[in-house]
Amino acid sequence: PKYVYDFTEGNKDLKDLLGGKGANLAEMTNLGLPVPPGFTITTEACRVYLDSGAEPPALRDEVSAHLAELEQRMGRKLGQSDDPLLVSVRSGAKFSMPGMMDTVLNIGLSDDSVAGLAAQAGGDDRFAWDSYRRLVQMFGKTVLGVDGDLFEEALEAAKRAKGADSDLGLDAADLRGLVEEFKAIVAKEAGREFPQEPREQMDLAVRAVFDSWNTDRARLYRRQERIPGDLGTAVNIVAMVFGNLGPDSGTGVAFTRDPATGAQGVYGDYLQNAQGEDVVAGIRNTVPLADLERIDKTSYDRLLAIMETLETHYKDLCDIEFTIERGQLWMLQTRVGKRTAAAAFQIATQLVDQGLIDEAEALRRVTGAQLAQLMFPRFDDAATARGSVRRIGWGIAASPGAAVGKAVFDSYTAVKWSRSGEKVILIRRETNPDDLSGMIAAEGILTSRGGKTSHAAVVARGMGKTCVCGAEELEVDTKRRCLTAPGGLVLEEGDLISIDGSTGKVYLGEVPVVPSPVVEYFEGRMHAGAEEAGELVRAVHRIMAYADRVRRLRVRANADNAEDAARARRFGAQGIGLCRTEHMFLGERRELVERLILADTDGEREDALKALLPLQRADFVELFEAMDGLPVTVRLLDPPLHEFLPDITELSVRVALAEARKDANENDLRLLQAVHKLHEQNPMLGLRGVRLGLVVPGLFAMQVRAIAEAAAQRIAAGGDPRPEIMVPLVGTVQELEIVRDEADAIVAEVREATGADLDLSIGTMIELPRAALTAGQIAEAAEFFSFGTNDLTQTVWGFSRDDVEASFFTAYLEKGIFGVSPFETIDADGVGALVRSAAEAGRATRPDLKLGVCGEHGGDPESVHFFHRAGLDYVSCSPFRIPVARLEAARAAA
Ligand code: PEP
Ligand code: MG
């Protein structure tokens, strides 16, 4: 294979091979944009290296050939002493992993060539020595593994000695001294001299970039972002251009539109007389990009024109890194930019309006996860406007959301506290990749330095985490673990703080939250056309309309009362896919269930059932009314009966104490006896679902009668009820047949008695492996299947759904056994395979068999795509996830 591609040879569709950065540098080169010449070593070379521990043998010669070509084009040789070519060695994986992997600048500098660089720069010795100083430092840290603090400390000491407050206060001689010091640090710490041979520098840097694929922080980031661990990174070798050659040089980052709202305009940061990494690291404070117009109008105009070219070409928001070297603009990177959830929806519809993309593409540009984010509550404007909460700072709104938590000042504490259930806000002066675990653990992130493109901002946006950055008036002291606000107010570790990532405001204490405008819109309390609804709601409204046009899967709700049903309907539910009737037996009715369980005689039991019947019937009447005209799947009672009785331990203690006092009461004794009788070691595998219906006479009959009578009542009232009776936990068709025969008889009876034209289908859950494996037989007795993927996951894996997530899942996730809990996202290979084969077998028996899913997976984006592909008719999920499921069902079909 070919391991090296010149920028003129690649294009944006080769991301798998060239990584995102390399592919896009090639694309820009071919668009005729000013990209410094260079070449890309493929991800394939990296994979060979990671697998075998050595570069592929052919790599060296290929690199030599491309380097020779580059040298010829630049008219300079790498590291040539009187006129050196310098290059940067930059990582670039298929998926962007901001700041996670290594980059080394100024490769090619040595004791020999530093004077040559000074000559190139018009005799600027200071610049040359500063560049060399940066090389030894970066190389020492990232390639040779020397502790970076040692260099920082030496730099600080040099500044102190000079009385300088920034490195700009150091002159050429100081920097030259510092280079010697840095080289000594390298020799001591790395056990080898800093390599003077340019090609050796380059080769070692390439290898270091390969290795950086597997650092802890890169692995953690990938797990978080669900990026596969075996992709490897490409390496870009690019001719250096310098943003630090004086005031007519600089470096910056820009977005083609506002990544927070999608609004068109000039967004970005610029840093005069600096090298690229200074901006992203948020070390020095930048100026807004608009200021570049004043500083260098020619470059500014050129940049805006390039941004327009890029946006039209990529048909999307792009972000850009650029450098200006003595008035000459260079593009160092572009990519389709990360954006907030709100911006994603607005940009998608804006691009449709501009004719750049169609509706199907607009659906691909947004995700259900983004929609879910927009449905989070926000801070109550009324509370903040009233001044009942105290604002202590105002930074940059870097990643939206409303986060409240206890202040913590380091990642370790963030992780520790969040593990013990605390909500925390991670507060740092600025973040770097080492803070990743803390950022993941925190509700939100607050920094006092850095702009919209600082590490904290970029990473938080990627994770959908609330972030306020650059709140400069807040003084963060990580050593003393406190934050000082203007006026001297001090916030200590553990104090409550609220941050608003949509406005950048920071509040002391806990600010109350209100529902999101998107939820208000779904609730029908806000119209898409209304003034206050704004851009965002209009965009969501349009995307949802596209979604409903293209999706094939129907979306139903898991709801057990009229209120939830009505909300689900407002959110777009096309019926109820699961009404868990056990939820109707709680509260005051529990006593009736207790009577049913404790009944000694048929008469007592019948009395208890008779008392329950009208209550159940009334429940169903309300439910059918709320879902009038739409199907309502009512599941017969599922959980073990002992769940309706008192806790065995508590009751035992109570009875024992009473006995000791010699005043045990008759009822408690009977109750305890019943609790003992019903007690099971593994209730989830015990007397529940259809098993219960078969051993407690009259229970299912009562429920079926309540359903049928409620339907008849609705019909009499002019309604259009569409009940479906669902039998849980069936493992064999015989179980279903017995229930079915009984139910058919009752329905016929009610039909007779009321004269109502009842249309009532009977089906089953498929939630046991045996049911899935014998689905062809079960379909003989079922008009529909609803996959209960919660129990199916539990039984296929043998994972107790109530226990394992808290016990060993963290370890499993860390070991990469799965990337996400199978209770959250369907295990396509295992549980999913059973779903597919059961669906197929069921349909073979009964071609018009209706197929749905009502486990938690019904509202999970990735799983919805799976169910679409598996050919199900609908998914059913909790009301709040319905819009997400509608959108993802459409994305699966688009
Ligand atoms: C299931 O098992 O997937 C299901 C929906 O039923 P429950 O969660 O009530 O057991
Ligand atoms: Mg179940």
In this structure, are 447 and 302 located in the same domain? no
Q: And the tokens for 268?
A: 């970005």
pLDDT at 281: 54
Does the annotation place 791 within a ligand binding site? yes
Lowest mean pLDDT among 192-206, 253-267, 584-598: 584-598
Would you say 549 is a known binding-site residue? no
- Same domain, yes or no: 882 and 800: yes
Q: Residue 767 CA: which ligand 1 atom is closest? A: 2
Ligand 1 atom with minimal separation from the 791 CA: 2
449 and 506 both lie in a single domain: yes
Q: Extract the tokens encoding 862.
A: 């990735």
Nearest ligand (C-alpha, residue 878): 1
Asked whether residue 667 is domain-assigned, the answer is no
How does pLDDT run across 566-576, given as a tens digit for each residue? 999 999 999 99
* HSE of 496, CA atoms in CB hemisphere, 13 A: 9
CA of 854 to the centre of ligand 1 (A): 7
Q: Which ligand approaches the C-alpha of residue 787 most closely?
A: 1
Task: Kindly state whether residues 230 and 261 are assigned to the same domain.
Answer: no
583 within some domain: yes
As for how many domains the chain has, the answer is 4
Distance CA 352, CA 180 (A): 58
Question: Which of 303, 789, 355, 270 is CA-nearest to residue 578?
Answer: 789
**Residue nearest to ligand 1 atom 5, measured at CA:** 855
Ligand 1 site residues (CB inside 6 A) read 578, 580, 638, 767, 788-791, 854-855
494 is in an annotated binding site: no
Q: What angle do CA 774, 780, 784 make, to 5 degrees?
A: 90
Name which of 273, 855, 815, 783 is nearest 558 in CA terms: 855
CA separation, residue 435 to residues 211, 426, 429, 439, 480 (Å): 20, 9, 11, 6, 18
Q: What is the pLDDT of residues 269-302, one digit of tens each?
A: 999 988 876 655 555 678 999 999 999 999 999 9
The alpha-helical segments, DSSP class H, found in 638-768 are 648-660, 666-678, 690-695, 699-716, 733-754
- Cβ neighbours around 790 below 10 Å, total: 15
Does 102 appear as a known binding residue?
A: no
3-state secondary structure of 468: strand
Contacts of 329 (CB under 8 A, 6+ apart): 34, 299, 302, 303, 306, 322, 323
Tokens of 825: 């996202």
**Distances 433 to 56, 217, 228, 296 between C-alpha atoms, Å:** 30, 7, 19, 33
Look at residue 532 and tell me if it is in a domain. Answer: no
In tens, the pLDDT along 628-642 reads 999 999 999 998 888
Substitution site in 556, 582, 634, 638 for ligand 1 pocket (most atoms within 8 Å of beta carbon) = 638
pTM of the model: 0.81
Domain for residue 354, yes or no?
no
pLDDT value at position 737?
98
pLDDT at residue 817, as a whole number: 85
Q: Ligand 2 center to residue 729 CA distance, Å?
A: 7
Q: 595 a known binding residue?
A: no
**Average pLDDT value for residue range 652-681:** 88
What pLDDT, on a 0 to 100 scale, did the predictor assign at position 25? 97
Together in a domain, 225 and 326: no
* Closest ligand 1 atom number to CA of residue 580: 9
| 315-354 per-position pLDDT tens digit | 999 999 999 999 999 999 999 988 888 999 999 999 999 9
- For the chain, the C-alpha Rg in angstroms (whole number) is 33
Give the number of whichever ligand sits closest to the CA of residue 823. 1
- How, if at all, do strands 233-239 and 87-93 pair? antiparallel
Mutational test site, ligand 1, from 637, 727, 764, 765, max ligand atoms within 8 Å of CB: 765
Model pLDDT, residue 530: 60
Residue 217 CA to ligand 2 centre (angstroms): 38
The answer to whether position 615 is within a domain reads: yes
The band of 606, judged by pLDDT with boundaries at 50, 70 and 90, is: very high
Q: Which of 345, 349, 372 is nearest to 519 (CA)?
A: 372
- The protein residue whose alpha carbon is closest to atom 1 in ligand 1 is 788
* Cβ–Cβ < 8 Å for 22, 88: no
Overall average pLDDT of the 647-663 stretch: 89
Chain mean pLDDT for the chain: 92
Range of the domain at 289: 241-339
Residue closest by Cα to atom 10 of ligand 1 = 791
**Rounded-to-integer distance, Cα 388 and Cα 528, Å:** 32
Whichever domain contains 770, its CATH number is 3.20.20.60
Same domain, 822 and 746: yes
- Residues 789, 792: Cα–Cα separation, whole Å: 5
What's the pLDDT score for residue 462?
63
Nearest CA to ligand 1 atom 4: 788
- Nearest ligand (C-alpha, residue 856): 1
Judge if 206 and 247 occupy the same domain: no
ipTM above 0.95, yes or no: yes
Quote the tokens at residue 211. Answer: 């290795």
Quick one: average pLDDT of 14-39? 97
Distance 673 CA to ligand 1 centre (A): 29
Q: Kindly state whether residue 671 falls inside one of the protein's structural domains.
A: no
Domain's final residue, options 339, 356, 387 = 339
Domain boundary among 486, 514, 542: 514
Q: Which two tokens stand for residue 55?
A: 């570069």
Does 682 show up as a binding residue in the annotation? no
- What is the average pLDDT across 232-250? 94
What is the 831 CA–ligand 1 centroid distance (Å)? 14
Same domain, 841 and 714: yes
pLDDT at 806: 67
- Specify the DSSP element, H or E, that contains 832: helix 831-845
Q: How far apart are the first and last CA of the chain?
A: 35
Q: Domain containing 253 — which CATH number?
A: 3.30.470.20
Ligand 1 atom closest to Cα of 578?
Answer: 5
Active site residues: 455, 854
Whether 379 shows a pLDDT value over 80: the answer reads yes
| pLDDT for 658 beyond 70 | yes
For 45-66, what is the mean pLDDT? 96
In a domain, 675, yes or no: no
pLDDT at 528 over 70: no
The CATH code of the domain that includes 181 is 3.30.1490.20
Considering only CA atoms, which residue is closest to atom 6 of ligand 1? 788
Please state the rounded mean pLDDT for residues 768-772.
98
- 236 - beta bridge partners? 40, 90
Q: How far apart are CA 813 and CA 410, in angstroms?
A: 24
Q: What percent of the chain has pLDDT over 90?
A: 71
Of 90-104, 714-728, 818-832, which has the strongest mean pLDDT? 714-728
Residue 392, domain CATH: 3.50.30.10
If you take atom 3 of ligand 1, which residue's CA is the nearest one?
788
CA distance 555 to 868: 11
pLDDT confidence of residue 386? 74
Comparing 385 with 65, the larger pLDDT belongs to 65
Tokens matching residue 645: 């009785």
pLDDT of 642: 81
* Co-location of 261 and 227 in the same domain: no
- pLDDT, tens digit, 9 for 90 and up, residues 724-754: 999 999 999 999 999 999 999 999 999 999 9
Q: Evaluate whether residue 839 is within a structural domain.
A: yes
- Say how many Å lie between the CA of residue 133 and the centre of ligand 2: 64
789 annotated ligand binder: yes
Among 514, 541, 569, identify where a domain stops: 514
Mutation to probe ligand 1, out of 638, 854, 860, 876 (largest number of atoms < 8 A from CB): 854
Q: Are 339 and 370 in contact (CB under 8 A)?
A: no
Q: Tell me how far the alpha carbon of residue 791 lies from the centroid of ligand 1, in angstroms.
A: 6
Please indicate, yes or no, whether residues 498 and 599 belong to a single structural domain of this protein: no
Residues 245 and 229 in one domain: no
Buried b (16+ CB within 10 A) or exposed e, 229-260: eebbbbbbbbbbbbbbbbeebbbbbbbbbbbb
State whether 56 and 152 are in the same domain.
yes
Give the number of whichever ligand sits closest to the CA of residue 730. Answer: 2
Task: Give the Å distance between the CA of 855 and the centre of ligand 2.
Answer: 7
745 vs 725, 729, 739, 740, 750, CA distance in Å? Answer: 14, 22, 10, 9, 9
